[in-house]
Chains A and B, each alone.
Chain A
Amino acid sequence: QSALTQPPSASGSPGQSVTISCTGTSSDVGGYNYVSWYQQHPDKAPKLMIYEVSKRPSGVPDRFSGSKSGNTASLTVSGLQAEDEADYYCSSYGGSNNFVFGTGTKVTVL
């Protein structure tokens, strides 16, 4: 199964919003509402930020939101803060007990 496609980088100034796209196919992103997003700071383990397209785990700020349209999912970070600078990965269930991650996006806070 091929990795989901994300832009390599995205950026915004503090207080602004940034949106990251995650494009798959009808066999993964488009076929299931099982898209999740992970934040990874340098030399740290990934952290769950969004699951089942738009649900936020306890403790994740409501500045983080997720959505999906067709084969593309999106993560929006509103009110950017310095600590949001990190790599972000999407993921999706791909059917038949398969799972796939996105290529990753480096978010820079200018």
Chain B
Amino acid sequence: QVQLVQSGSELKKPGASVKVSCKASGYTFTTYAMSWVRQAPGQGLEWMGWINTDTGNPTYAQGFAGRFVFSLDTSVSTAFLHISSQEAEDTAMYYCARYRDGYYFDYWGQGTLVTVSS
């Protein structure tokens, strides 16, 4: 069965960096793109972009280019989200989600809570 398992919660100070992982299993990793979605506390879902798991080419939504970087390690079927120079406003739950042709997300990770606080 398809599973996306994300790394655990993180507590970081402002200015620090964090790397969130998303390990896929139950399917061929490079067949489907992976997307990242942010959800701030008490807020809605926000699409951050996606990464082509075959070519490694990322696409970032408006507002997420620069400090947010998507990467892959296809040898272990894992996608990564790296956030640099974190601000308090980056405090959120971050989800990875498998991105299907037809522009929808059929499987989601359990989420990784990143808290940025001094």
Contacts and interface: CB of A to CB of B under 8 A. Distances in A.
Interface residues of B, number: 23
A3 B108 CA distance: 21
B103 A36 contact: yes
Interface residues of A, number: 26
Contacts of B100: 51
A45 B104 contact: no
A46 B38 CA distance: 12
Contacts of A32: 103
B46 A57 contact: no
A98 interface: yes
B95 interface: yes
A51 B47 contact: no
Nearest to A99: B47
Given A100-B47, A101-B45, A36 B104 contact: yes
Given A38-B105, A51-B104, A89-B44, 14 more contacts: A32-B103, A34-B102, A34-B104, A36-B105, A46-B108, A48-B106, A48-B107, A51-B100, A57-B106, A89-B45, A91-B45, A93-B103, A99-B103, A101-B46
Interface of B: 35, 37, 44-47, 50, 59, 61-62, 95, 97, 100, 102-111
